[in-house]
Amino acid sequence: MLRAWLILLGGGLACLSVLAARSLPGTWIWLSILATLSFTGSYAVSVAVRRTLIAAALDPGTRLRRLVTGRIGAAARAAATALATVPTLGYVAMTGARQEVLLVVIAAMSTAMALAVADRQLAGRIRAPLRLAILRPAVVLSLAAVLAPLHMWVSYAILPIPHWVAPDRLARTVADGLAALPPAPWPVAPAFQAIRAVDALMQWLLAQPALGGPLPLVLALLKGAAVQGVAANFAADAAAACLVAGRPVAGRPVAERPVAERPVAERPARHD
């Protein structure tokens, strides 16, 4: 299952992003698949972790186990994750250069493989799925910290300044950048516009050699950290959902078995 997910992740992000950037129906298909994978992956991991904690905290016979299931909190986290994932990765897929899309694919595949390897190494030491709850943020932050400077370098040194950047006027740069956005569905169109406005500011600063200073590089680094972090978190949730599939929840009550009484050897009576 994990191997199939890696194939879908690598090929799907590369192919569907090209399809999404060309037509509005393709955009709908791409964003729908992205939202579905993001929500289901995050929900599966969150509900498994929450159920494990609930099973460890509550007694097996209490009625609270029927009421507290962890589904509401898992659904809330999954919805928040999808709201952050879809606009960010959708914007990169529809407007980013090939180098940026390639970095997203590398971040996603590296995260999934690193999480699978780390989970296997720690198997038998930390209970699942709590093991994935500990490993997931560590893997995501590590890979985002490594790939964010690379993303910044690509944005600053390799990619050319977009054609809609007017070095002499910031307001015109923002307006032309918004006008150059490809058509997007209404639910994500405002998010795309907000991201493009920040991107236009960064591109305008990069086109100002007289300004100098670290501000353009800081903005490029923040953009790279956000994109790589969201891509890594998306892949980590999906890979973790595959890893926890079919595993029993730790802490489930086990039927008590009667303990066989050992025969006690009769001692001979002592005669004084």
Question: Mean pLDDT per 10-residue run, the chain (272 residues)?
Answer: 52 52 64 82 86 77 72 89 89 84 84 86 81 88 92 88 88 92 83 91 82 76 90 86 62 41 49 51
pTM for the full predicted model = 0.78
CA atoms within 13 A on the CB side of 185: 14
Pairwise CA distance, residues 136 & 77, whole Å: 15
* Backbone torsion region of residue 187, taken as left when φ is above 0, otherwise alpha when ψ lies between -120 and 50, otherwise beta: alpha
- What is the predicted pLDDT for the residue at 147? 92
Q: Residue 121: phi, psi to the nearest 5?
A: -70, -35
Identify the burial level of 67 via C-beta atoms within 10 angstroms of its C-beta, where 0-12 means exposed, 13-18 middle and 19 or more buried: exposed
Pairwise CA distance, residues 151 & 231, whole Å: 13
Q: Are the beta carbons of 25 and 108 closer than 8 angstroms?
A: no
- What is the predicted pLDDT for the residue at 141? 93
- What is the predicted pLDDT for the residue at 80? 93
Q: Are the beta carbons of 45 and 244 closer than 8 angstroms?
A: yes
In Å, how far from its chain's centre is CA 141?
11
Q: Residue 207: phi, psi to the nearest 5?
A: -85, 5
- What is the predicted pLDDT for the residue at 245? 67
